[in-house]
Chain A
Amino acid sequence: MTEITYISEELVMEGNLDSAGSSVVVAGRFKGELRAKDVLLEANSIFDGNLVADKVTLGGLVKGEVSANTLNVASSAKVEGNLKTNALSIDLGAEVSGSITRISK
């Protein structure tokens, strides 16, 4: 049985997705609240909203708030918003604007 949640290109999802125990991959568009264990926003994805996960890779257009224990911003990413993380890496070429803070323990 598939554990992973996948939103492919051009598909639009708006709302609340809670996938606490498993992974979410977004190649299309997502707007709203997203909660998961691992999240991958692929290169052409568009995300607008609130993202909470343990491990996140941002590769597309991201607007809003991202909270992740481990966060990677890939070179294809354009991020506008607040990043909260304890372990951050930003690849060369990524466009990031906004604030970066640690998750308070």
Chain B
Amino acid sequence: MANKQAVLGSGARFSGKISNAKSIEINGFVEADLVTEKVTIGSTGKFIGAVDSDLVVIAGEYEGKMQAESVWLTETSRISGEVHYKSLQMDRGAALNCRVVHNWNENASTKVDETEKETSEVSDEQKDTK
């Protein structure tokens, strides 16, 4: 496995601090604050705490304040708290009880065009549905 990664098994419970992480996969229970590049919460996983990540994929349960470039909430996901995102995908069945904020923060303009493209696509789709 590449460096700076962690996988938490489905029976594992962790609470504490995780640092210097690039990618985290959670199939158990984790209570922590995370700054990383990729977070995956598996269908058996539950995460409580703040997340700051480029990509977040959730199939399990999440509680906390999340700040992410791209968020994918699958059909089994359950979210509470706050989601700040630039690009969001939500599958039918995803359960959200949270505040959802599309943030155009100051970093957005300095980041690559990719996110702009994505967000413009989203707005095009929104126009179509109206």
Residue B112 at the chain A interface, CB threshold 8 Å: no
Contact of B17 with A by CB under 8 A: yes
Interface string of A1-36 (1 = CB under 8 A from B): 111111111111111111111111001100010001
Q: How many A-B residue pairs lie within 8 Å, measured between CB atoms?
A: 97
Interface of B, secondary structure class, is: loop
**B12 contact from A8, A12, A22, Cβ within 8 A:** A22
Q: Tell me, in angstroms, the Cα distance from A14 to B31 when the chains sit together.
A: 11
B10 interface contact, C-beta 8 A: yes
A24 to B8, CA, bound (A): 9
Q: Which of A11, A14, A22 has the most CB of B within 10 A?
A: A11
List 14 additional contacts besides A5-B6, A14-B18, A18-B12; criterion CB under 8 Å. A1-B10, A2-B27, A4-B9, A5-B8, A5-B12, A7-B6, A8-B2, A11-B6, A11-B20, A12-B18, A17-B14, A24-B12, A28-B4, A28-B6
